[in-house]
Amino acid sequence: MGKIRTTLAEKIGYGFGDMSSSMFWKIFSYYLPFFYSNIFGLRLDQVALLLVITRIWDAVSDPMMGILADRTTTRWGKYRPYLLFVSLPFALCGIFLFTTPDAGATVKLVWAYVTYILMMTVYTGINVPYGAMLGVMTDDSDTKTVLSSFRMFFAYGGSFIALFCWEPLCNALGGYDTPGGWQHAMFVIALFCFVLFLLCFGMTREKLHTVSTVSVGSDLKLLLKNVPWWILIGAALCSNLFNTVRGSTVAYFFNDVVGSGVHLNLGGWSFLFYAGLFLSIGEVCNMIGVALAVPLAAKLGKKSTYMLSFAALIVLSIAFFYVPVSGAGYWWMLALQVVISIFTGVISPLVWSMYADVSDYAENRDGTASTGLIFSSASMAQKFGGAFGGAALMWILAGFGYDTTAGAVQTPEAINGIKILMSWIPAAVAAVAVIVVFFYPLTRKRMNKIQEELAVKRGLV
């Protein structure tokens, strides 16, 4: 069977795309709830409702974008053109999202809804086609895993840069506790993201020319009958819930549990222990996990690697709850962050590679390509996970009596709620993920057979 390969430049170029998306996404996921409640001035219940309501539009816009991309025809291909034309709106919407208008509470709430919906719509407009490109850059399942690994390696690299620099950028450009500091910091990040998407467009190529041969209604009906797709949606939702709940709690954890001005000493060196450092170390360790994903998946299979990684996350997340808030405890927090992040790094590229496998399964079974529609569900799962994770965070904090007043001292109950959000709740999500993935049917043996049949149908042999 002939296999379409990709060059190193194409792999790097493809990685640049998610480097850009991930810089935005991690800041949204980890800092936007804190921004809305502690900088912008919304109540916790308003933030939670905002995050959930906007997902109703996403439930429509993601598959719409997938259907549109599947039916796009240009000299650049089906999916690449969106990287070129949506990159500037993507950057501008990020700046608007972190802009605080000088207005009353009602106007500010409306502004938050409008800018958040705009941002997620534009994110869909560029990220769904970008994700679908994986299905048309190569026909080989193993190469898709390699491309997914490049994607996630660069994504975590971008996340490291954004998270490590975010608080220092805010402080340098107006102050971490001021609206201007957050807006100006996002302007810097947005400019960088714009350039990265242009590089992704220029360095990649679509090599498979798939065609959707049925109506939109038929595409949707076939998708709803796709059992592996449903299972993978559940697994991806769990993955994003785990990352979002835990990650977006970090800003509160360091603000109210660890506190400001805490330093760690290492060999005569003293450095500040703050949320950005904790998160950015996690991104570096995510990159290690991505590098391990390919050999682990090759040895154990994607499904087994996924399940074992989440099983490890259950144990590690529970252990985090029992770490004391002390000098020695801070080092244990970092150690657990390192190991947890390695396992989440292993999981990330597997999700995208498995979506590509589901796309091949659907094309072989149904005789029509719906790559964009299938990958749109990945974006939808990502955003639903982010939204419900962020909303759950707000509701749980409110339930434990968290006080958003500037300089407030939190009650023991609120502190305990923050610690549970960093440990037991992510562990519960990981347990659900293990159960869901257990039923995933696309094993390595089955995918090899599917790809052999597809090669014949595509005229590659």
CATH number of the CATH domain containing 400: 1.20.1250.20
Kindly state whether residue 263 falls inside one of the protein's structural domains: yes
Is the distance from CB of 336 to CB of 323 less than 8 angstroms?
A: yes
State how far the Cα of 454 lies from the Cα of 304, in Å rounded to an integer. 25
Beta bridge partners of 272: 263
What type of residue is 202? G
State how far the Cα of 222 lies from the Cα of 439, in Å rounded to an integer. 20
Q: What tokens does 250 get? A: 């970090």
> Residue 339: which domain range?
8-207+215-457
Burial-class residue 352 by CB neighbours within 10 Å (0-12, 13-18, 19+). Answer: buried
Q: Place 386 in a pLDDT band, splitting at 50, 70 and 90.
A: confident
State how far the Cα of 82 lies from the Cα of 235, in Å rounded to an integer. 27
Burial-class residue 338 by CB neighbours within 10 Å (0-12, 13-18, 19+). Answer: middle
**Statement: residue 213 has pLDDT above 70:** no
Kindly state whether residue 346 falls inside one of the protein's structural domains: yes
Kindly state whether residue 444 falls inside one of the protein's structural domains: yes
State how far the Cα of 43 lies from the Cα of 362, in Å rounded to an integer. 44
Kindly state whether residue 1 falls inside one of the protein's structural domains: no
Is the distance from CB of 383 to CB of 390 less than 8 angstroms?
A: no
Kindly state whether residue 448 falls inside one of the protein's structural domains: yes
pLDDT in tens, 243-295: 989 988 998 999 899 988 888 888 778 888 888 889 999 989 988 998 898 89
Kindly state whether residue 350 falls inside one of the protein's structural domains: yes
Helices and strands per DSSP (H, E), number in the chain? 17, 2
Is the distance from CB of 128 to CB of 66 less than 8 angstroms?
A: yes
- Helix 302-321 × helix 424-437 angle, to 10°: 160
pLDDT in tens, 324-369: 998 889 999 999 999 999 999 999 888 878 888 888 888 888 777 6
Kindly state whether residue 3 falls inside one of the protein's structural domains: no
Residue 265 parent element (H or E)? strand 263-266
Q: What tokens does 222 get? A: 């076939």
Kindly state whether residue 138 falls inside one of the protein's structural domains: yes
**Statement: residue 309 has pLDDT above 70:** yes
pLDDT of residue 369: 67
To the nearest 10°, report the CA torsion of 102, 105, 110, 113. 100
Number of independent structural domains in the chain: 1
- Helix 87-97 × helix 105-132 angle, to 10°: 150
Residue 272 parent element (H or E)? strand 269-272
pLDDT in tens, 45-83: 998 899 888 777 776 788 888 888 888 888 898 999 999
